[in-house]
Amino acid sequence: MLAGKAAAAPALPPVRALGHVPVRTLNGWTLPHKLKDGVKEFHLVAEEVDHEFAPGSRAKCWGYNGSTPGPTIEAVEGDRVRIYVTNRLPEATTVHWHGLILPSGMDGVGGVSQPHIGPGETFVYEFTLRQHGTHMYHPHADEMVQVASGMMGLFIIHPKDGEAVAIDRDYAFLLHNWALHPGTYRPDPSVMTEFDLWTFNSKVFPAIDSLVARTGERVRIRVGNLSMWNHPIHLHGVEYEVTGSDGGRWPRAQWRREVTEIVGVGQARDIEFTAVPGDWALHCHMSHHTMNAMGHGIPNTVGVDQTGVADAFRQHVPGYMAMGKNGMSEHQTHVDMGHMPGPENTLAMMTGKGPHGNIEMGGMFTLVKVRDDLAPGDYRDPGWYRNPPGTMARRVSRDPDFGKPVRRRQV
């Protein structure tokens, strides 16, 4: 195993020269810019996008420059930026630069700080970046519809003096929820609590990229939340430090050790850790947020013998299957076997295959994959981790009466 930072450092000269590593947007991309008379020029296009949440689920969403979330804007504290915004939507929009310190007239609140950007129009924003940190952009016009349809992006500003503690891999994603009702193709913006899809950068597991690192590297994960729920983001395998937010990278004395950090609506949080080898789950800890579409308000079938009921149902609904007596995990098995096609354009509630069986997850779940032998800067998925001999949980008996465990007498 490598001994931390010293071993990983030699491979990073090009990015070290910039004072920061470029941010890596999960399943996303960074918007290119042109330098014009010392000003960084960007061009956002608000438009409808044909989006895939995971193979088997597509929707007409709204986003920027062909994607939801829109491309990440990345710059350095002190930069002057000029951002053109062209509106190709059927209704007016604006862009609010969430958390940025700027002149009031650049704040992007439709009707307050500026007139709306009408369909077909282009507006220009221009300001100097006076801070660093993990920031976001989103419309401040018909927000309920436009944000629910996927309009959001990351705005990452690196500190001008470089990082006090160097980062080797810098990942970022936005949390969101979608009411894409089974069998439909456009998110329903009127829904407030009962969502069908929970996403990292508008993707659900298993379509979310893995976060890859080499053993000993310093990894930062930036998480922003423009959804309708708070999300406790949990990482296995390490105690990470919460080191920053939309308020920039915090002074070291403010860093906190956690294993779960709630990222509230409208907030951003940065977590950092030194990578240790293995495949480590990174997920929201609201257990319904690691599922895909499911029925809400259905009767609880756990513990219910449905044998006779299923026969009766089958007379009216050919192919009806009773499920859930022993829990929900059989759901994935039946879907995988093709017994349950489900509504069109609708993902199974739980999915994903690992080296040891079904993962039974969906939604806000992915893996941090850390390997000793990765080349620095190599972001390719390395496949599944092989546990060293003697370091994996194993079966010792198939007898429920095995051993003499202490159990409470039930009265």
Q: How far is the CB of 177 from Cu ion (least distance, A)?
A: 8
Interaction between residue 369 and Cu ion (CB under 5 A): no
Contact indicator for 180, 59 with CB cutoff of 8 Å: yes
54, 154, 282, 284: residue in contact with Cu ion (rule CB under 5 A): 284
Of 166-174, 230-238, 302-310, 325-333: span binding Cu ion (CB under 5 A): 230-238
Query: Quick one: 117 or 268, whose CB is closer to Cu ion?
Result: 268
Q: How far is the CB of 364 from Cu ion (least distance, A)?
A: 5
Q: How far is the CB of 198 from Cu ion (least distance, A)?
A: 6
Of 164-172, 208-216, 240-248, 278-286: span binding Cu ion (CB under 5 A): 278-286
Query: Quick one: 172 or 284, whose CB is closer to Cu ion?
Result: 284
Of 83-91, 248-256, 281-289, 320-328: span binding Cu ion (CB under 5 A): 281-289
> Which residues are CB-neighbours of 253 under 8 A, at least 6 positions away?
none
Interaction between residue 233 and Cu ion (CB under 5 A): no
Query: Quick one: 51 or 289, whose CB is closer to Cu ion?
Result: 289
Query: Quick one: 218 or 289, whose CB is closer to Cu ion?
Result: 289
Of 189-197, 223-231, 252-260, 313-321: span binding Cu ion (CB under 5 A): 223-231
Q: How far is the CB of 165 from Cu ion (least distance, A)?
A: 29
Interaction between residue 321 and Cu ion (CB under 5 A): no
Applying CB under 5 A, the site for Cu ion has a residue count of 4
Of 48-56, 184-192, 287-295, 376-384: span binding Cu ion (CB under 5 A): 287-295
Closest CA to 274 of 208, 323, 221: 221
Interaction between residue 85 and Cu ion (CB under 5 A): no
Query: Quick one: 287 or 326, whose CB is closer to Cu ion?
Result: 287
Q: How far is the CB of 151 from Cu ion (least distance, A)?
A: 20
Interaction between residue 289 and Cu ion (CB under 5 A): yes
- Long-range contacts (CB closer than 8 Å, 24 or more residues apart) made by 64-68: 64/151, 64/153, 65/31, 67/28, 67/29, 67/202, 68/149, 68/150, 68/151, 68/152, 68/202
Residue with tokens 């990482």: 235
Interaction between residue 98 and Cu ion (CB under 5 A): no
Provide the sign of the torsion angle of the four alpha carbons 178, 184, 188, 194, taken in this order: negative
Q: How far is the CB of 336 from Cu ion (least distance, A)?
A: 25
Query: Quick one: 140 or 231, whose CB is closer to Cu ion?
Result: 231
Q: How far is the CB of 69 from Cu ion (least distance, A)?
A: 17
Q: How far is the CB of 231 from Cu ion (least distance, A)?
A: 3
Interaction between residue 286 and Cu ion (CB under 5 A): yes
Query: Quick one: 15 or 262, whose CB is closer to Cu ion?
Result: 262
Query: Quick one: 49 or 284, whose CB is closer to Cu ion?
Result: 284
Query: Quick one: 123 or 178, whose CB is closer to Cu ion?
Result: 178
Interaction between residue 220 and Cu ion (CB under 5 A): no
Strand 80-87, strand 256-258: pairing? unpaired
Of 5-13, 112-120, 226-234, 368-376: span binding Cu ion (CB under 5 A): 226-234
Tokens of 114: 């500026």
Of 95-103, 138-146, 150-158, 283-291: span binding Cu ion (CB under 5 A): 283-291
116, 181, 218, 231: residue in contact with Cu ion (rule CB under 5 A): 231
Residue with tokens 């349809």: 149
Question: Which residues are paired to 125 by β-bridges?
Answer: 83
Interaction between residue 228 and Cu ion (CB under 5 A): no
Chain residues binding Cu ion by CB under 5 A are: 231, 284, 286, 289
